[in-house]
A and B are shown apart, each in its own frame.
Chain A
Amino acid sequence: MIQLLNTLLIGITAGSIYSLMAIAMVLVWRSTRVVNFAQAGMALLSTYFGYEVIQLTHSYWIALPVAMLAGAVVASAIELIIMRLLLKHSSQGAIASIAPIIATLGLLGLIKSVIGYFWGNQDLSLESPLSNVGFTLGSDTLAISPLKLFIIIAVAFLVLTLSFIFQKTNLGLALRASAYSPEISRLAGIKVDLVRTIGWALAGAAGGAAGMLQTANGTGTLSPDSLEFSLLLAFGFIAAVIGGLDSLVGAVIGALVLGLVLAFVLTYIGGSLVFITAFVLLLVILLIRPGGIISQKAGRRA
C-alpha cells in the first residue's frame, strides 16, 4: 500500500520538475513559434549563476530569484541578438521548420562550451535549501519531503501566475496575438518585437527555476555535461508535446502524465524500460490526438 502511495508521489514530483521545463518550452512556442532546445542550456547557465550567488551569500533563497532573473536576462539577450536575425532571414521555405531548431541546438552547444570554459568540466555542488528526508506516516516514510513539497508548490504557483498573465492581462493577449498573427498585431499597435522578447524572458525565468529546483532535488551536482540536464531537456520537450504545445495547462498535464506513467512502469514492470516507455507513451497519445492532450479544436494554420 505504501509502495503505491509512494509511487504516486514520486510520479507527481517528477512530473512537476518536467513541467517547469515544459512550461518554458510552451512559453517560447506560444510567443514565437519556435521550439527552443537551448532552454536546457539557459537553465544550466542560470543555475551556474545561482551557484555563484550561493558561494557569495550561502543562501539558496537569494540564489533562486537571482537565477530566475539571470535566466530572464540571458533569454532576452538571445532573443534580441539571435532570434530576431533568424526570423528575418529564414521565415520562408523548408528552412523555416528546421532552422530555429538547429539554431537553438547550436546555442545549446555554445552555452555548454562557454560554461565549460569558465567553470570547467568538473562537478560542482549545489546545496539544497530544504531537507529531502521524507515525512513519516506511522512507521513508513513517504516519498514526499519538505523539498519536494516546495517544488510542487513552486510549480503550481508559477503555472497559475503564468496562466493568469496569458489569459487575463493585456500583456498575455499581446503575447498570444503576436504569435498567432504578427502582421495584424502590428497593425493593431502591439509592439510585437518587444512582446516576443518578454515572452522569452518569462521562459528564461521559468527555465532558471527548473534548473535550480532540479539540481536541488537530484544529487546536487552541476556540470556542463550533467546527465540530468540533458534528460531534463528531452523529457521536458516530450512532456510539452504530450500535453499539447499550445497550452500551459497542457504542459503541466503532459508532464504529470509522463511522470506518473514512468513511475508506475518503473516500479511495477521493469527498471530498464524508462526511455522506451517515454517513446511509446508519446506515440500512443499522438496517435489518438495528433496535437497533444490539450490541442486546439479549431483548425489553425501552423
Chain B
Amino acid sequence: MHKLKSNNISRLIGFVVFGIFLLYLSNTIDELRVYQGATVAMYVVAISSIILLTGYSGQVSLGHGALLAVGGYGAALVRNNLHAPVWLSFAAAVLIAALCGALLGVTAARLSGPYLAGTTLALAVGLPSIANQFKFLGGEQGLIFDIGLPPASLGETFSQYKWFFWIAALTALIAMWWLQNLLRSRYGRIWRAVRTQSVAAELAGINVARAKILAFTVSAGLAGLAGALLSMTISTVSPGAFPLSLSFALATGAVLSGVTTLGGVMIGAVTLVAIPEIADALTQRFGASENVINSLPGLMVSGLLIVVVLFVPNGPVEQIRHRRKK
C-alpha cells in the first residue's frame, strides 16, 4: 500500500514540475502561442471528459459541446449577476454542468450505443437555441464573461493572454491530477469493468447503472470546466461558440489522443489547435486557389482522423505501450 502512496507523491511532483516548466514557457514564447496554449489547456480538460466517458465507462456522447455551453453560461451568469470571483464562477460551471450530466446520465444509462449517440446529438443541436428563448441568457450575441485584468502585483506589462494561459494551465493541471487519481482509484476500475464486461460486473455486485451515471456526472463537470475556460478565452459566451462541430472536434481529439487512456491527451489537444494553422501556413507558402485555401484545413483534419482511426485506433500511447510489452 505504501507503494501506492509513494507513486501518488511522485506523480504529484511530476505535475508540479510540469507546471513550473509551463510557467517558464509562458515567459519565453510569444503572445500568439501563449493564447493558443490557453486553448490547448481548455481542450485538454474537454478531451479528458470524453476519455472518461467513452474510454473508461464506454458511453458515447456526440453532444459534449452542449455541456461545455452549460458550463460557460453558468460561469458567466454567476460572475455577472453575483459578482463572484473567477474561481467561484469556475466552480459554479462545474457544479451546474455536473448536475445536467447527472440528469442526462440517468436517461443515458438505459440507452445503448447508437441510441445514446443519437440522443446526445439531438442535445447538441437543440441546446444552443435555448439561449434565444430566455432573455437572461443573452440571446445570439451572448453574455460577457470578463475575468478581469491580471493583478497589479504581476507588473504593468503582464499581458492578458499570459493571464489566460496561467489560469487555464493551472486549472487543467489541477483537473488532470485529480482525474488521474480518480481513474486510478476504485472508481476507475469499476468504470473499466463496466465498459468491458458489464454483465460480469453486475454479477460481481457492481451497480452498473449507478457507475454509468457517476461517469456521466464527472465527465459533465469536466466539460463544464472546459466550457468556462473557453468562454474566458473569448471573453463572451454565446450559442455560436458551441456548434455541433465542437462536439465532433472533441470526439476527434479523444480518438487522436487514444480514447482509453489519459496519457496522450495533450496530443489530441495540440493537434486540434495546430492543424488549422499548419494548413494555413501550407496554403500561404504554396499560394493556392481559393478553393484549396478553404478546403485544405478540413481535408487535413479529416484525413488525419481517418488515418489515425484506421491504423492507430487505440491511440499512439496504447500503441507504444503495446510495442513495449512485446
B47 to chain A, nearest CB (A): 13
Q: Are A109 and B302 in contact (CB under 8 A)?
A: yes
A190 within 8 A of B: no
Q: Are A241 and B255 in contact (CB under 8 A)?
A: no
Q: Are A106 and B309 in contact (CB under 8 A)?
A: yes
Stretch touching chain B among A7-15, A110-118, A143-151: A110-118
Q: Are A272 and B298 in contact (CB under 8 A)?
A: no
Q: Are B251 and A237 in contact (CB under 8 A)?
A: no
Q: Are A82 and B310 in contact (CB under 8 A)?
A: yes
Complex Cα spacing A156 to B110, Å: 33
Q: Are A114 and B299 in contact (CB under 8 A)?
A: yes
A122 to chain B, nearest CB (A): 10
Complex Cα spacing A280 to B294, Å: 36
CB contact between B255 and one of A102, A282, A283 (< 8 Å): that residue: A102
Chain B residues positioned under 8 Å from A116 (CB to CB): 291, 294-295, 298
Given A109-B299, A283-B122, 15 more A-B residue pairs with CB atoms under 8 Å apart are A94-B259, A95-B260, A97-B113, A98-B60, A99-B255, A105-B251, A106-B306, A109-B302, A110-B303, A114-B295, A234-B125, A234-B244, A241-B115, A272-B133, A276-B129
Q: Are B259 and A95 in contact (CB under 8 A)?
A: yes
CB contact between A106 and one of B55, B305, B313 (< 8 Å): that residue: B305
A165 within 8 A of B: no
Complex Cα spacing A29 to B294, Å: 33
B118 within 8 A of A: yes
Contact string against B for A residues 91-107, beta-carbon threshold 8 Å, 1 for contact and 0 otherwise = 00111011101110111
Complex Cα spacing A220 to B201, Å: 53
Chain A residues positioned under 8 Å from B251 (CB to CB): 98, 101-102, 105
Chain A residues positioned under 8 Å from B130 (CB to CB): 276
A279 within 8 A of B: yes
Chain A residues positioned under 8 Å from B301 (CB to CB): 106, 109
B314 within 8 A of A: yes
Chain A residues positioned under 8 Å from B118 (CB to CB): 237-238, 240-241, 282
Q: Are A241 and B126 in contact (CB under 8 A)?
A: no
B127 to chain A, nearest CB (A): 8
A56 within 8 A of B: no
A69 within 8 A of B: no
Number of B interface residues in the complex (CB < 8 A): 54
B234 within 8 A of A: no
Q: Are A101 and B129 in contact (CB under 8 A)?
A: no
B296 within 8 A of A: yes
B123 within 8 A of A: yes
CB contact between A302 and one of B110, B113, B299 (< 8 Å): that residue: B113
CB contact between B310 and one of A89, A108, A230, A279 (< 8 Å): that residue: A89
B88 within 8 A of A: no
Stretch touching chain B among A57-65, A180-188, A208-216, A285-293: A285-293
Nearest to B61 among chain A residues (CB) is A98
CB contact between B114 and one of A99, A107, A109, A241 (< 8 Å): that residue: A241
A245 within 8 A of B: yes
A90 to chain B, nearest CB (A): 4
A120 within 8 A of B: yes
Chain B residues positioned under 8 Å from A107 (CB to CB): 302, 306
For chain A, residues 33 to 64, give those with C-beta under 8 angstroms from any C-beta of chain B: 35
Most B C-beta atoms less than 10 A away, residue of A29, A93, A105, A282:
A105
CB contact between B122 and one of A90, A101, A282, A292 (< 8 Å): that residue: A282
B194 to chain A, nearest CB (A): 11
The 13 sampled A-B contact pairs (Cβ below 8 Å) are A86-B309, A99-B309, A101-B117, A103-B310, A106-B252, A110-B299, A118-B291, A120-B290, A234-B121, A237-B118, A276-B130, A282-B119, A282-B122
Q: Are B302 and A279 in contact (CB under 8 A)?
A: no
Q: Are B306 and A283 in contact (CB under 8 A)?
A: no
A132 within 8 A of B: no
Complex Cα spacing A274 to B313, Å: 37
Q: Are A90 and B302 in contact (CB under 8 A)?
A: no
Chain A residues positioned under 8 Å from B125 (CB to CB): 234, 275, 278-279
Chain B residues positioned under 8 Å from A97 (CB to CB): 54, 58, 60, 113
Complex Cα spacing A121 to B291, Å: 7
A85 within 8 A of B: yes
Chain B residues positioned under 8 Å from A272 (CB to CB): 129, 132-133
Q: Are B305 and A105 in contact (CB under 8 A)?
A: yes
B195 within 8 A of A: yes
CB contact between A35 and one of B117, B129, B133, B244 (< 8 Å): that residue: B117
Complex Cα spacing A234 to B305, Å: 21
CB contact between A279 and one of B111, B126, B309 (< 8 Å): that residue: B126
Contact string against A for B residues 89-102, beta-carbon threshold 8 Å, 1 for contact and 0 otherwise = 00000000000000
If A89-B310, A94-B54, A101-B60 touch, does A113 touch B112 (CB 8 Å cutoff)? no
CB contact between A102 and one of B119, B252, B292, B298 (< 8 Å): that residue: B252
Q: Are B126 and A275 in contact (CB under 8 A)?
A: yes
CB contact between A291 and one of B115, B260, B290 (< 8 Å): that residue: B115
Nearest to A277 among chain B residues (CB) is B126
Q: Are A101 and B310 in contact (CB under 8 A)?
A: no
Complex Cα spacing A101 to B259, Å: 13
B248 within 8 A of A: yes
Chain B residues positioned under 8 Å from A245 (CB to CB): 114-115
Complex Cα spacing A107 to B122, Å: 21
